[in-house]
């Protein structure tokens, strides 16, 4: 009888299946709980991102130091809105979606101020500790899922050089010296900043080179730039809808300022020779091409307004040293432009021609080359033009200049010296972004 029992195979399959069921159930439990942990981690990461970003916004805003809420409260508030609250925290957070946790499950949210490089920031750490469920037969220790995020506050100043729609291009060995006032482009393309060649020198403030898009070329220069930033507001946008006058040509071969007695434009004027033209605060309308050749020098105070189709060409070794008029009066402008004259705009704060040296609405490219030496104390506003400094021109200013154009390029050995700008010469804004 015993031998027959030993030899009997009835129920063997069930026995084997029963033995195999243990690892199968364990694997199924592992897969199920792994998925659960993954989902918890994703939710925790969303809460950490929201907490860090919101706390950094508080850090960047004027509310920090004056409001009743703290940085930690703001971060924990947004973590709570994503379902994560420190266990035992009885603080009431607006919009909280935290609910009663399962037995033996706890959560933790910590908010701390940190420094990342040269930037202030906020680090949020969100975690959930829970016991294993299906895997409790092979693991008894609790499982902690943690997520962390850091948001930084970047100081972005209104740049002295702003490309409104196109790229900023550096080719060859240009030398840019603007230690207190930077450059920016609102171009959102992947090559909004372009570096070609070597030997270029860029002396800009921290974060002084930024773009709404990306950067190509030099890895080190691209790495130092702020990329994919919010567009910079154009402070002279109101002038884009201004109506330019239709004027007759001025007589003579030199520059003539606009006035009631001489309501004219300087058409295709070429200034050549070794003389000096001293300007004394007028407004000069230009059509065709204003060409400066030889050693001609233009000095003084003035506002050049380029009419549609006009361009500015500088060749040779001539010099321009122009300071924008401190104020432009209605008597210096045609009726259509008088709303922007100083005597008409003080109440609306739209004195946009004050301290402006060049205003050009046209889309004709502007090229400044040769060995020209240019000094503008004021604003060059060419919102639709591509401006190129090529060859060996020196754009030098002992005070502070501002260039706003559709795009601009520095080619060859072009030099821009804008060291006269102080660190407080431009308004600043703060940008918050997730760093990790």
Q: State pLDDT tens for residues 210-266.
A: 899 999 998 888 888 888 888 888 888 888 888 899 999 998 888 999 999 999 999
Pairwise CA distance, residues 235 & 159, whole Å: 11
pLDDT value at position 355? 87
**pLDDT average per 10 residues of sequence, the chain (436 residues):** 57 58 57 75 94 91 67 95 94 92 93 88 94 63 91 80 94 88 92 88 85 91 86 88 91 90 93 85 90 84 89 73 87 89 63 88 79 73 89 68 90 83 65 79
The pLDDT score that the predictor gives to residue 362 is: 85
327, 382 contact by CB (below 8 A): no
* Six-digit token string for 173: 């060995």
SS (H, E, C) 96-146: CCCCCCCCCCEEEEEEEEEEECCEEEEEEEEEEEECCCHHHHCCCCCEEEE
Q: Distances in Å between the alpha carbon of 422 and those of 176, 271, 331, 398? A: 16, 34, 33, 11
pLDDT attached to residue 354: 87
Contact criterion met (CB below 8 Å) for 389 and 368: yes
Contact indicator for 184, 213 with CB cutoff of 8 Å: no
What pLDDT is attached to residue 30? 57
Q: What is the pLDDT of residue 2?
A: 52
- Whole-number pLDDT of residue 79: 96
pLDDT at 423: 66
pLDDT of residue 119: 80
362 phi, psi to nearest 5 deg: -75, 165
């Amino acid at each position: 009888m015993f031998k027959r029992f030993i030899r009997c195979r009835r129920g063997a399959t069930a026995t084997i299946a029963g033995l195999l069921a243990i690892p199968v159930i364990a694997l199924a439990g592992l897969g199920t709980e792994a998925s659960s942990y993954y989902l918890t981690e994703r939710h925790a990461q969303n809460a950490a991102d929201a907490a860090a970003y919101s706390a950094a916004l508080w850090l960047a805003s004027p509310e920090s130091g004056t409001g009743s809420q703290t940085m930690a409260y703001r971060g924990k508030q947004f973590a709570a809105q994503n379902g994560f609250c420190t266990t035992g925290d009885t603080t009431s957070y607006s919009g909280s979606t935290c609910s009663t946790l399962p037995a033996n499950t706890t959560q933790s949210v910590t908010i701390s101020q940190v420094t990342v490089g040269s930037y202030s920031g906020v680090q949020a750490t969100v975690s959930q500790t829970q016991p294993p469920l299906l895997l409790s037969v092979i693991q008894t220790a609790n499982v902690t899922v943690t997520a962390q995020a850091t948001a930084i506050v970047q100081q972005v100043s209104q740049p002295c050089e702003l490309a409104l729609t196109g790229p900023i291009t550096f080719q060859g060995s240009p030398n840019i010296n603007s230690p207190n006032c930077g450059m920016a482009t609102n171009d959102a393309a992947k090559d909004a900043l372009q570096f070609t060649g070597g030997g270029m020198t860029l002396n800009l403030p921290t974060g002084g080179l930024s773009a709404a898009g990306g950067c190509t070329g030099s890895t080190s220069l691209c790495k130092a730039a702020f990329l994919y930033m919010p567009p910079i507001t154009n402070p002279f946008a109101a002038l884009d809808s201004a109506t330019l006058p239709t004027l007759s040509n001025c007589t003579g071969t030199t520059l003539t300022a606009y006035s009631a007695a001489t309501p004219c434009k300087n058409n295709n004027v070429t200034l050549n020779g070794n003389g000096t033209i001293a300007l004394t605060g007028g407004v000069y309308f230009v059509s065709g091409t204003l060409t400066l050749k030889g050693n001609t020098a233009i000095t003084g105070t003035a506002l050049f307004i380029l009419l549609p189709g006009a361009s500015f060409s500088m060749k040779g070794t001539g010099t321009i040293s122009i300071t924008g008029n401190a104020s432009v009066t209605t008597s210096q402008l045609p009726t259509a432009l008088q709303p922007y004259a100083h005597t008409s705009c003080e109440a609306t704060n739209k004195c946009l021609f004050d301290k402006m040296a060049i205003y050009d609405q046209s889309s004709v490219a502007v090229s400044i080359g040769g060995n020209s030496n240019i000094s503008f104390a004021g604003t060059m506003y060419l919102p639709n033009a591509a401006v190129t400094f090529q060859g060996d021109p020196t754009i030098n200013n002992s005070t502070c200049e501002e260039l706003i154009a559709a795009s601009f390029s520095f080619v060859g050995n072009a030099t821009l010296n804008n060291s006269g700008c102080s660190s407080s010469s431009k308004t600043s804004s703060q940008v918050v972004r997730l760093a990790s």
